[in-house]
Amino acid sequence: EPEVTQTPSHQVTQMGQEVILRCVPISNHLYFYWYRQILGQKVEFLVSFYNNEISEKSEIFDDQFSVERPDGSNFTLKIRSTKLEDSAMYFCASSPDRAINQPQHFGDGTRLSIL
Amino acid sequence: DQQVKQNSPSLSVQEGRISILNCDYTNSMFDYFLWYKKYPAEGPTFLISISSIKDKNEDGRFTVFLNKSAKHLSLHIVPSQPGDSAVYFCAASARGSNYKLTFGKGTLLTVNP
């Protein structure tokens, strides 16, 4: 069964450094998402992406964050200057389209640890 | 932000019995509801969903019930198996929201042999 893959599985970065989290969505999917889960808290929506542009973003997704689909397969989340509070699990998800009854499929996540 | 609430952090049942996981929501714009299962060190895995035009959806051992007037949904697993032990997340989305998912905090289900 096709799956969403994320790399790396664990990223340790010094505060203030830039980090790029990578995702390969399911190949025929058109909608891409990033979520995060801070330890002990809910999974939170960050951003949705369609047709090479952001379709919606949350309050969390400030100017330090950006997303890109640099080629036909990868979908990346960049944090420009990381803060301690960016430490979390980051999940990428994709779905075929926005029609109802199309669930999002998630990758296994990247654990980001900011020191 | 408590738009989706799972009030039971944990649930323990015996193998072969029914597991019932509950979820409440407050946003009346939600029209699509999903259950995800999550094992440690893995991402959420889609389990079953229901749209607001239905009140029940069944897939094998899993059934989701939706009570729109009460803004409540539940997931029934019968019979429960030890491999069902995981964290179960309720999630919801609203048309017009780019289908971003709003998650509950999750319920840890433990099925004892």
Chain A residues whose CB is inside 8 A of the B89 CB are 43
Residue of A10, A38, A39, A45 to mutate, interface with B, max B Cβ within 10 Å: A45
Gap from A44 CA to chain B (nearest CA, Å): 7
**Using the beta-carbon criterion (under 8 Å), do B43 and A101 form an inter-chain contact?**
no
Report helix, strand or coil for B42.
coil
> Which residue among B32, B89, B102 sits closest to A100, beta carbon to beta carbon?
B32
Is A22 in contact with A112 (CB distance < 8 Å)? no
Is B79 in contact with B109 (CB distance < 8 Å)? no
Quick: pLDDT tens for B5-46: 999 999 999 999 999 999 999 999 999 999 999 998 899 999
Q: What is the per-residue DSSP string for B76-96?
A: EESS--GGG-EEEEEEEEETT
**What percentage of residues in chain A have a pLDDT greater than 70?**
97
Res B43: pLDDT: 93
Assign A24 a pLDDT band (cuts: 50, 70, 90): very high
Res A100: pLDDT: 59
Is A15 in contact with A86 (CB distance < 8 Å)? no
> Which residue among B41, B43, B51 sits closest to A100, beta carbon to beta carbon?
B51
With CA atoms as reference, the chain B residue closest to A34 would be: B100
Predicted confidence (pLDDT) at residue B1 exceeds the cutoff of 70: no
Gap from B104 CA to chain A (nearest CA, Å): 6
Q: What is the per-residue DSSP string for chain A?
A: ----EEE-SEEEE-TT--EEEEEE--TT--EEEEEEE-TTS-EEEEEEEETTEEEEE-TT--TTEEEE--SSS-EEEEESS--GGG-EEEEEEEES-SSTT---EE---EEEEE-
Please state, in angstroms and rounded to a whole number, the distance separating the CA atoms of residues B69 and B94: 17
